[in-house]
Amino acid sequence: MVTKYAQRKRIKLHGVSYAQRVIDINAIYDEHCHSGLSNREILRQFIWPQYHICEKTFYNIINASADDALATKYNAATAQLDLFSPSL
Protein backbone atom coordinates (compact mmCIF):
# COMPACT_ATOMS: atom_id res chain seq x y z
CA MET A 1 0.00 0.00 0.00
CA VAL A 2 1.38 3.38 -1.02
CA THR A 3 0.56 6.30 1.22
CA LYS A 4 -0.34 9.76 0.02
CA TYR A 5 2.92 11.03 1.44
CA ALA A 6 4.95 8.67 -0.74
CA GLN A 7 2.96 9.68 -3.83
CA ARG A 8 3.69 13.39 -3.47
CA LYS A 9 6.74 14.81 -5.12
CA ARG A 10 9.10 16.26 -2.58
CA ILE A 11 10.25 19.80 -3.20
CA LYS A 12 13.82 20.55 -2.20
CA LEU A 13 13.91 23.64 -0.02
CA HIS A 14 17.10 25.49 0.74
CA GLY A 15 17.45 27.84 3.63
CA VAL A 16 19.53 30.89 4.30
CA SER A 17 22.51 28.85 5.53
CA TYR A 18 22.61 27.06 2.16
CA ALA A 19 22.56 30.42 0.38
CA GLN A 20 25.43 31.66 2.55
CA ARG A 21 27.43 28.50 1.84
CA VAL A 22 26.83 28.91 -1.92
CA ILE A 23 28.05 32.52 -1.77
CA ASP A 24 31.16 31.60 0.25
CA ILE A 25 32.11 28.62 -1.92
CA ASN A 26 31.62 30.59 -5.11
CA ALA A 27 33.81 33.39 -3.77
CA ILE A 28 36.59 30.87 -3.08
CA TYR A 29 36.07 29.24 -6.47
CA ASP A 30 36.09 32.57 -8.34
CA GLU A 31 39.29 33.56 -6.59
CA HIS A 32 41.16 30.44 -7.74
CA CYS A 33 39.49 29.37 -11.01
CA HIS A 34 41.76 31.46 -13.25
CA SER A 35 44.97 30.23 -11.64
CA GLY A 36 45.14 27.13 -13.84
CA LEU A 37 44.06 24.67 -11.15
CA SER A 38 41.42 22.09 -11.97
CA ASN A 39 38.08 22.19 -10.19
CA ARG A 40 39.04 19.07 -8.26
CA GLU A 41 42.24 20.71 -6.99
CA ILE A 42 40.37 23.88 -5.99
CA LEU A 43 37.94 21.69 -4.08
CA ARG A 44 40.67 19.70 -2.35
CA GLN A 45 43.02 22.55 -1.50
CA PHE A 46 40.72 25.45 -0.66
CA ILE A 47 37.09 24.41 -0.21
CA TRP A 48 37.19 20.97 1.43
CA PRO A 49 39.28 22.05 4.46
CA GLN A 50 36.62 24.61 5.35
CA TYR A 51 33.33 23.00 4.23
CA HIS A 52 33.98 19.21 3.97
CA ILE A 53 31.76 18.66 0.95
CA CYS A 54 32.08 15.99 -1.73
CA GLU A 55 32.78 16.68 -5.38
CA LYS A 56 29.16 16.17 -6.46
CA THR A 57 27.94 18.67 -3.86
CA PHE A 58 30.62 21.10 -5.03
CA TYR A 59 29.34 20.94 -8.61
CA ASN A 60 25.73 21.30 -7.43
CA ILE A 61 26.71 24.44 -5.49
CA ILE A 62 28.59 25.88 -8.47
CA ASN A 63 25.48 25.32 -10.61
CA ALA A 64 23.20 26.76 -7.91
CA SER A 65 25.05 30.04 -8.08
CA ALA A 66 23.30 30.82 -11.37
CA ASP A 67 19.93 30.86 -9.60
CA ASP A 68 18.96 34.49 -8.96
CA ALA A 69 16.17 33.45 -6.61
CA LEU A 70 18.76 32.06 -4.21
CA ALA A 71 20.62 35.37 -4.05
CA THR A 72 17.45 37.39 -3.57
CA LYS A 73 16.33 35.01 -0.82
CA TYR A 74 19.63 35.47 0.99
CA ASN A 75 19.54 39.25 0.59
CA ALA A 76 15.97 39.43 1.87
CA ALA A 77 16.80 37.29 4.89
CA THR A 78 19.89 39.26 5.84
CA ALA A 79 18.34 42.69 5.41
CA GLN A 80 17.43 44.17 8.75
CA LEU A 81 14.59 46.50 9.40
CA ASP A 82 15.67 49.80 10.82
CA LEU A 83 13.07 50.39 13.50
CA PHE A 84 14.65 53.44 15.03
CA SER A 85 15.24 55.59 11.99
CA PRO A 86 13.19 58.76 11.76
CA SER A 87 10.45 58.49 9.19
CA LEU A 88 10.42 61.06 6.47
What percent of the chain has pLDDT above 70?
A: 57
Indicate the average pLDDT of the chain: 77
Q: Which residues of 22-47 are buried (b: 16+ CB within 10 A; e: fewer)?
A: beebbebbeebeeeeeeeeebbeebb
Which residue would you say has higher pLDDT here, 65 or 2? 65
- What is the pTM assigned to this prediction? 0.64
pLDDT tens per residue, range 12-60: 555 678 888 888 999 999 999 999 999 999 999 999 999 999 999 999 9
| DSSP classification of residue 42 | H
